[in-house]
Structure formats: C-alpha cells, structure tokens
Amino acid sequence: MESCPSVKNILLLDSEGCRVAVKYYSDDWPTNSAKEAFEKSVFTKTQKTNARTEAEIAMFENNIVIYKFAQDLHFFVTGGDDENELIISTVLQGFFDAVGLLLRGNVDKKEALENLDLILLCLDEIVDGGIILETDANVIAGKVASHSVDSGAPLSEQTISQALATAREHLTRSLLNV
C-alpha cells in the first residue's frame, strides 16, 4: 500500500547558512543541535551551486534535498530517499512562489524577517505533520493573506504584527473621535 507523499523538513536559510524560518516534520533530527548540524552541512554542500533559475536536487544523508536560491535566501525541502522528487520539487516551487507573492517580489532576508509571520503561516498552509496539503502558490498566498487581514479575531488568536496593527487602528479611531 502506498503512503501519502511527505516531507521531512522545509528550510529557509540566509546566505551564511543561518536560520530564517525552518520547520521539521520528522524525528530524524531529535535535538536542536542535530537540526542545526544538518542545516549547516546541507548549506555547505549546496552553496557553491547555481540554483537561482531552476531548482536543483541532491542526495544527502539518505534524503532527497531540493533547493533553490533567491537573492540572499536559500530555500530547501527535504524528503526521504523513497519520495518522488517531482512532488518534493512541487512543494519547493509552491513555497518559493508563495513567498514571492507575499513579499511582493522583494524576496530577500530583510523583507523575509519583517514578514516572518507570513512565511511561517505559509509553511503551515503547505505541510502539516509532514503531509503535503497544498502546492499552489496562489492558493497558499491567498489563505495566508486572509489570515493576516482578520482584524476582527480575538487578540489571543492574532500574530504580534496583527495585534499591533489592530491596536494602532483602535488608537487612531479613538483619537479621531475625541
């Protein structure tokens, strides 16, 4: 019986191999230091390649790693060695394109850090527990955008940037009504 396609992790690293946003869905790396060591070694192995126009593929520690670079960001999706490379590549392309849409084409580290909440929501929309949910960048970006504009939600369910925007909006309204 075939299982659902799954991914082990999605990594977004900067041009020095440091974390911007990462999500692990597998127990292959049980400790934080094991995760950081994997990230550093994947980054070191792939940094000399030119994966700017198309995604590249590599076998690494019995895993398939598909990666693509944009500006000073490095996108990686890892799957088991028995996973379909095309499906993992589709996940990477969906993540890459959704981030591009959410950051309005300005895909760099500074912009990514300023919109980290959107990127983390993007990861949540793409994969849940390792199971691939969505790969269409327009659908992913649409869902993330709809989450980020819900100012009617209780403050406990909003991200920090959403809560600040809501507070700013309420303060502006109260000052204008005085």
pLDDT digits (tens, 9 = 90+) for 106-143: 888 888 888 888 899 899 889 988 888 888 888 888 88
C-alpha–C-alpha distance, residues 8 and 65, integer Å: 10
Q: Strands of 72-112 (E only): list them.
A: 73-80
Distance from C-alpha of 33 to C-alpha of 44, rounded to nearest angstrom: 16
Please list, in sequence order, all residues whose beta carbon lies within 8 angstroms of the beta carbon of residue 93, skipping any fewer than 6 positions away.
55, 68, 135, 137
Residue 94 has pLDDT above 80, yes or no: yes
- Which helix (H) or strand (E) element contains residue 123? helix 116-126
Please report the pLDDT score of residue 143 as a whole number: 85
147 versus 120: which is more confidently predicted? Answer: 120
Length of the chain: 178
**Residue 150 pLDDT greater than 60, yes or no:** no
Instruction: Please state, in angstroms and rounded to a whole number, the distance separating the CA atoms of residues 46 and 178.
Output: 59
pLDDT of amino acid 167: 75
pLDDT category of residue 1 using cuts at 50, 70 and 90? very low
- Rounded to an integer, what distance in angstroms lies between the CA atom of residue 152 and that of residue 143? 16
- Name all domains of the chain by residue range, CATH numbers in brackets: 7-176 (3.30.450.60)
